[in-house]
């Protein structure tokens, strides 16, 4: 069994498992420590330098890199800590393309959250020289865009693609102030090995990597992705009678918050005008819309004539396991053949 430690953070008594970072322990207990480059799914990086805390009155350490220990006393704020965080944040804001009103991340932006937490003051910001990078936005990907002028170079996207997706489509390019995130050779996303899964997009703490259609959902419906047999847990965002976005279910053991490109972005077909909503029957060489009863009767009458080797069934990966079971059972028991397969490659 993992050991548990008792510690205090800002006077609050906390129990945390061995190996937990102080930052995670604090966040789990509703104590906010500013952070930009930390993500619970990824290895700690220690790059943004915002999550500094004091342990037992000692030197400032990064809470994402320090793990809990028995009896330690953690302070998440002090004048020294505040000064370090304030300057780091001021530098980030002076470097950031602050077009918050038009930004896809405006309601979910770590930079704005931390500024509010620290109480960033405009007159102090005015002392700094704002940077005007004017870098081109990569809009090549159909589902998301990348705006390097908003990127805080936290590296979360890089680590996501390495650690979670296992693909390594992204990396750091250039050095110093010119450091940017990019694909191999800094090519557009669509010319790289990127699979458009969007894992990086959902983890980007700001609006640098942002979905192209940030539609706000009125409510969410928990369900299972219909694309393949993995059965990833998702939440469908619904506005009116339409599905407007998809979000992965972090609690579902099958996918633990991850999705592939189809599950995340492939929902346009639902409301697509070309989608079939009624059965079609070919009459005189032309498809003609029909009612379900007519269609099913026609199928049943043809099936009766097609038992044995004439018949083959190909099941869909979009069906559930139960549906797939029924198809093979039907094929063998009713249609009297073993010729049954499954695409499982969608």
Partner 1 sequence: MNDLIAYQQEAASVWEELNSNDMPLITVGNATCGRSAGSIDVVEAIQAETAEIGIDCNVIEVGCIGLCYLEPIVSIQKQGQPMVVFGNVTLKQVKKLVADYLVNDQIPPKLVIGTIGEEKIGDVPKLFELPVLKPQVRRALKRCGFIDPTSLEHYLANSGYSGLTRAFDVGPERIVEEVKLAGLRGRGGAGFPAWRKWTFCREAESDQKYLICNADEGDPGAFMNRSLIEGDPHALIEGMIITGYALGASVGYIYCRAEYPLALERLRLAIQQAEENGLLGVNILGSSFDFKIKIKEGAGAFVCGEETALIQSIEGERGMPTPRPPFPAVSGLWGKPTIINNVESLACVGLIMQNGAEWFAEYGTEKSKGTKTIALVGKVVNSGLVEVPMGISLRELIFDIGGGVPDGKKFKAVQTGGPSGGCVPEELLDIPVDYDSLNEVGTIMGSGGVVVMDESTCMVDFARYFLDFAEKESCGKCVPCRLGTKQMLTILEDIVEGRGKPEDIDLLEELGEAVMAGSLCGLGQTAPNPVLTTLRYFRDEYEAHIYEGKCPAKQCKEFITYHILDSCIGCGLCLRNCSSNAIIGEPKKLHWIEQELCHKCGVCYEVCPPKFFSVEIRTGELKEEPA
Does 197 engage in binding with ligand SF4 (CB under 6 A)?
yes
- In contact, 173 and 187? CB cutoff 8 Å: no
Least distance from partner 1 to the Cβ atom of residue 218, Å: 37
Tell me how many residues contact ligand SF4 (CB under 6 A).
Answer: 26
Q: Which two tokens stand for residue 203?
A: 């983890």
Strand partners, 313: 340
Three-point CA angle 47, 49, 52, nearest 5°? 135
Q: Binding to partner 1 (CB under 8 A): which residues in 17-46?
A: 36, 44-46
Contact stretch for ligand SF4 (CB under 6 A) within 79-87, 196-204, 220-228, 267-275: 196-204
| Helix extents (H) in 134-191 | 156-159
Q: By CB under 6 A, is residue 161 in contact with ligand SF4?
A: yes
**CA gap 42, 162 in Å, rounded:** 10
Cα 117-118-124 angle, rounded to 5 deg: 145
- The CB-of-148 to ligand SF4 minimum distance in angstroms stands at 8
Structure tokens at 3: 């050991």
Residues 101-160 that bind partner 1 (CB under 8 A): 127-129, 131, 152-153, 155
Give the binding range for ligand SF4 (CB under 6 A) out of 78-86, 149-157, 223-231, 307-315.
149-157
208 binds, among ligand SF4, partner 1, none (CB under 5 to 8 A by kind): ligand SF4
Please check whether residue 258 is in contact with residue 233, taking contact to mean a CB–CB distance below 8 angstroms: no
Q: With binding defined as CB under 8 A, does residue 88 bind partner 1?
A: yes
Residue 186 backbone phi and psi in degrees, to 5:
50, 40
Q: Does 191 bind ligand SF4 (CB under 6 A)?
A: no
* Residue with tokens 């910001």, as numbered in its chain: 125
Q: Which stretch binds partner 1 (CB under 8 A): 48-56, 196-204, 314-322, 335-343?
A: 48-56
**Site for partner 1 (CB under 8 A): how many residues?**
35
Binding to ligand SF4 by residue 153, rule CB under 6 A?
Answer: yes
Q: CB of residue 17 vs ligand SF4: minimum separation in angstroms? A: 27
Q: Which of 16, 105, 209, 248 binds ligand SF4 (CB under 6 A)?
A: 209
Look up residue 201 and give its two tokens: 């997009």
The verdict on 48 binding partner 1 (CB under 8 A) reads yes
Rounded-to-integer distance, Cα 226 and Cα 212, Å: 23
109 contributes a contact to ligand SF4 by CB under 6 A = no
Query: Reduced to 3 DSSP states, what percent helix, strand and coil does the chain have, rounded to the nearest 5?
Result: 30, 20, 50
Two tokens at 311?
Answer: 């018949």
Among 33, 64, 194, 259, binds ligand SF4 (CB under 6 A): 194
Stretch that binds partner 1, among 9-17, 57-65, 264-272, 299-307 (CB under 8 A): 57-65
Q: Where are the alpha helices (DSSP H) in the chain?
A: 22-28, 79-95, 110-118, 122-125, 156-159, 199-203, 261-265, 292-304, 321-329
CA pair distance 307, 304, nearest whole angstrom: 6
CA atoms within 13 A on the CB side of 341: 6
Q: Which two tokens stand for residue 194?
A: 């990127």
Q: Which does 167 bind (CB under 5 to 8 A by kind): partner 1, ligand SF4, none?
A: ligand SF4
- List contacts with partner 1 (CB under 8 A): 36, 44-50, 52, 60, 62, 65, 83-84, 87-88, 91-92, 94-95, 127-129, 131, 152-153, 155, 171-172, 174-179
- List contacts with ligand SF4 (CB under 6 A): 151-157, 160-161, 165, 167, 169-170, 181, 194-200, 204-206, 208-209
């Amino acid at each position: 069994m993992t050991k548990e430690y008792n510690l205090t953070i800002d006077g609050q008594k906390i129990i945390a498992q061995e190996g937990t970072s102080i930052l995670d322990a604090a966040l789990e207990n509703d104590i906010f420590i500013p952070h930009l480059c930390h993500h619970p799914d990824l290895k700690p990086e220690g790059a943004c330098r915002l999550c500094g805390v004091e342990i037992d009155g000692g030197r400032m350490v990064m809470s994402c890199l320090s793990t809990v220990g028995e009896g330690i006393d953690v302070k998440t704020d002090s004048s020294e800590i505040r000064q370090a965080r304030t300057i780091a944040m001021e530098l980030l804001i002076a470097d950031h393309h602050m077009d918050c009103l038009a930004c896809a991340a405006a309601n979910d932006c770590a930079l704005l959250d931390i500024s509010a937490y620290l109480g960033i003051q405009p007159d102090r910001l005015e002392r700094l020289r704002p940077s005007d990078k004017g870098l081109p936005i990569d809009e090549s990907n159909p589902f998301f865009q990348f705006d390097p002028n908003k990127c805080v170079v936290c590296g979360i996207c890089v680590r996501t693609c390495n650690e979670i997706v296992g693909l390594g489509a992204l990396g750091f390019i250039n050095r110093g102030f010119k450091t940017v995130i990019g694909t191999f050779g800094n090519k557009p996303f669509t010319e790289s090995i990127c699979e458009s899964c969007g894992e990086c997009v959902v983890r980007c703490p700001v609006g640098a990597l942002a979905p192209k259609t940030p539609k706000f959902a009125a409510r969410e419906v928990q369900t299972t992705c219909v694309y393949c047999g993995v059965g990833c847990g998702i939440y469908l965002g619904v506005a009116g009678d339409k599905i407007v976005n998809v979000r992965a279910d972090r609690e579902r053991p099958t996918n633990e918050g991850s999705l592939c490109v189809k599950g995340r972005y492939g929902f346009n077909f639902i409301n697509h005008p070309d989608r079939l909503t009624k059965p079609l029957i070919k009459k005189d060489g032309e498809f003609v819309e029909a009612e379900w009863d007519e269609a099913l009767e026609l199928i049943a009458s043809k099936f009766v004539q097609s038992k044995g080797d004439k018949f083959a069934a190909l099941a869909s990966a979009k069906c559930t396991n139960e549906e797939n079971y029924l198809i093979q059972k039907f094929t063998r028991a009713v249609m009297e053949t073993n010729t049954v397969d499954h695409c499982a490659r969608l």
